């Protein structure tokens, strides 16, 4: 009986220490971008249940929230907003969004150039 207690006591301490060390090493990563409103609006776009004007309004509201929280818009946000602007005939706004997407994410330059050429 005493040997069982000693064995259990001998296991409890190392397990407790290991758990404490592993918990102490865990870090919470924060997202580089704030995705609020963007992903649901892309989904709504593909479902086709909201008009482009409604989607633009939702994305503009999401953009204001992101800027108010001092975060960064995710990749594709401006491009999607630009495409929505183009679909309602707001070429200047579309161009501005596509150029900003290209500046913020240079890896999208080729595609943004293609989209910009289609606006002319």
Question: What is the model's pTM?
Answer: 0.73
CATH number at 38-119: 1.25.40
Q: What's the pLDDT score for residue 19?
A: 58
For the chain, give every domain's residue range: 38-119
pLDDT tens for each residue of 43-56? 888 898 889 999 99
| Rounded Cα–Cα distance for residues 46 and 68 (Å) | 28
> What tens digit of pLDDT does each residue of 13-24 get?
566 666 555 565
């Amino acid at each position: 009986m005493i040997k069982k207690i000693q064995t259990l006591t001998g296991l409890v301490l190392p397990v407790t220490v290991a758990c404490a060390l592993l918990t102490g090493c865990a870090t919470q990563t924060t997202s580089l971008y704030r995705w609020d409103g963007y992903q649901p609006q892309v989904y709504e776009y593909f479902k086709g249940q909201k008009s482009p004007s409604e989607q633009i309004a939702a994305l503009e509201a999401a953009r204001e929230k992101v800027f108010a929280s001092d975060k960064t818009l995710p990749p594709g946000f401006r491009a999607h907003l630009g495409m929505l602007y183009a679909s309602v005939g707001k070429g200047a706004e579309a161009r501005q969004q596509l150029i900003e997407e290209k500046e913020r994410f240079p890896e999208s330059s080729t595609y943004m150039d293609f989209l910009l050429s289609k606006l002319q």
